[in-house]
Amino acid sequence: MADSLAVLIIVSTIASGIRLATPFLLASLGEALGQRSGVLNLGVDGVMLLGAFGAYYTVLQTNNPYYGLLVGIGTGLVLGVFYGFITLNLRAEQGVSGIGIYLFGLGMSDLLFQKFVGTPRPILPFMPLHFPVLSDLPIVGEMLFQHSIIVYIAFGLVPVMSFILYKTTYGLNIRAIGENPEAADSLGVSVMATRYSAIIIGNGLAGLAGAALAIELGIFQQNLTNAMGFIAIALVYFGAWTPTGVMLGSFLFGLVQAIVLQCKTFGVIPRSASDLAAMAPAIITILALVVVAKRFKQPAALTKPYVRGG
């Protein structure tokens, strides 16, 4: 009896870890793509917030979560064009302009929320999918096959992104430009176009991550993401700029969050210490970064604007 309860708890913890990892995974896949091309985007969190609000408001109006996802992506794409213009055309310092985007997203999403919504109203979240046979499997079914569509989109993007990076000409261009843009340029690969595309797609994924978060929670509020975008950036380093590594990092982070939540529910952690416990995922990420990330080198041209002959 005790055994089956333990199994139940473990299964539900892993399932919720996967769910919690989803927005991190989407955002950090996008960030990894941008960084692979040599552009650092510290504004992920701001893009997520605007994507989240866009998605929330759309679902509020249309009652269709899929429209919400599309608006979230669209918001990210537009911000991607904007960020590309700042960093690639104007060659602004990437650390500072990214923080600018973050602050813009933080303030703007709240302003729009206050102006158009005011009091929080819940929206229709995604329903978990039901796969014949698979979802009804014991243990595995609950762990892997009873999630909402966005979870499958996020994890499905991992192999897609690996394929693009390592098997396509476009991916080869991105990897080359992040390391030695001069070499790519000397062979006629457009550094500008490639970086633009990587930033736009990356920001689109950040917008999608925000949308996923808002729709999953069914609400929006000021600073909904609570710095998740910054964690996503850290996870890119943790994952050594590979889609699989980023996925492992996101899952680990989601899992630790889930464990902390479970512990709170079961009263393992006293109320007074719950704020401290909430820091656990961040602390574990920092420790893991110290241990893991030092072994890998970041793309050599990261944060360096490219000027021909410069």
Partner 1 sequence: MSQINSNTPMLQMRGITKRFPGVLASDNVDFDVRAGEVHTLLGENGAGKSTLMKILYGLYQQDEGEILLHGKPVRLTSPAHAIAQGIGMIHQHFMLVPTLTVAENVALGLKSSRGPLTDLKTVSRRITRLSKTFGLQVYPDAYIWQLSVGERQRVEIIKALYRDASILILDEPTAVLTPNEVDDIFVIFRKLVRDGRGIIFISHKLQEVLDLSDRITVLRHGRVTGTTTPDKSDRHDLARLMVGREVKLAPDKHQVEPGEPLLVIEDLFVYGDRGKQAVKGLNLKVRSGEILGIAGISGNGQRELAEAIAGLRRPKSGRIMINGHDTTGYKPGQIRKIGLSYVPEERMKDGAIGEFDIKENLILLNHNHNPFCKKGFLCFGEICAHSKRLVREYAVKTPGIDTMTSNLSGGNIQKVIMARELDAEPKVLLASQPTRGVDIGAAEYIHERIAEQRQQGTASIVISEDLDEVMALSDRIAVMFDGQIMGIIERDQATRESIGLLMTGETQAPVETV
* Contact with partner 1 (CB under 8 A) among 91, 175, 264, 304: 175
Should residue 169 be labelled a site residue for partner 1 when binding is judged by CB under 8 A? Answer: yes
Should residue 308 be labelled a site residue for partner 1 when binding is judged by CB under 8 A? Answer: yes
Minimum distance from residue 25 beta carbon to partner 1 (Å): 24
The residue behind tokens 């457009």 is 190
Q: Among 19, 102, 50, 21, which Cα is nearest to 211's?
A: 50
Helix axes 280-292, 243-265, angle to 10 degrees: 150
Should residue 130 be labelled a site residue for partner 1 when binding is judged by CB under 8 A? Answer: no
The sign of the CA dihedral 49, 50, 54, 55 is: negative
Q: Which x/- pattern, by CB under 8 A, does the window 247-286 give for partner 1? A: ----------------------------------------
Q: How many CB atoms lie within 10 A of CB 7?
A: 12
* Contact with partner 1 (CB under 8 A) among 176, 199, 201, 205: 176
Q: How many CB atoms lie within 10 A of CB 273?
A: 10
Cβ proximity to partner 1, 131 vs 166, nearer residue:
166
Of the listed pieces 170-178, 209-217, 264-272, 275-283, which binds partner 1 according to CB under 8 A? Answer: 170-178
* Contact with partner 1 (CB under 8 A) among 173, 197, 250, 285: 173
Cβ proximity to partner 1, 131 vs 296, nearer residue:
296
Residue type, 105: G
* Contact with partner 1 (CB under 8 A) among 179, 205, 211, 253: 179
Alpha-carbon gap, residue 269 to 4, rounded angstroms: 23
Should residue 167 be labelled a site residue for partner 1 when binding is judged by CB under 8 A? Answer: yes
Q: Among 235, 239, 277, which Cα is nearest to 259's?
A: 277
Minimum distance from residue 198 beta carbon to partner 1 (Å): 15
Minimum distance from residue 246 beta carbon to partner 1 (Å): 17
Identify the burial level of 29 via C-beta atoms within 10 angstroms of its C-beta, where 0-12 means exposed, 13-18 middle and 19 or more buried.
buried
- Applying CB under 8 A, the site for partner 1 has a residue count of 22
Minimum distance from residue 295 beta carbon to partner 1 (Å): 12
Of the listed pieces 19-27, 48-56, 136-144, 187-195, which binds partner 1 according to CB under 8 A? Answer: 187-195
Alpha-carbon gap, residue 249 to 125, rounded angstroms: 26
Cβ proximity to partner 1, 134 vs 183, nearer residue:
183
Alpha-carbon gap, residue 255 to 242, rounded angstroms: 20
Q: Tokens standing for 222? A: 């000021």
Alpha-carbon gap, residue 17 to 83, rounded angstroms: 32
Minimum distance from residue 187 beta carbon to partner 1 (Å): 3
Q: Among 58, 76, 106, which Cα is nearest to 209's?
A: 76
* Contact with partner 1 (CB under 8 A) among 70, 99, 172, 192: 172
Alpha-carbon gap, residue 88 to 295, rounded angstroms: 29
**In the complex, which residues of this chain contact partner 1 (CB under 8 A)?**
167-173, 175-176, 179-180, 182-189, 300, 308-309
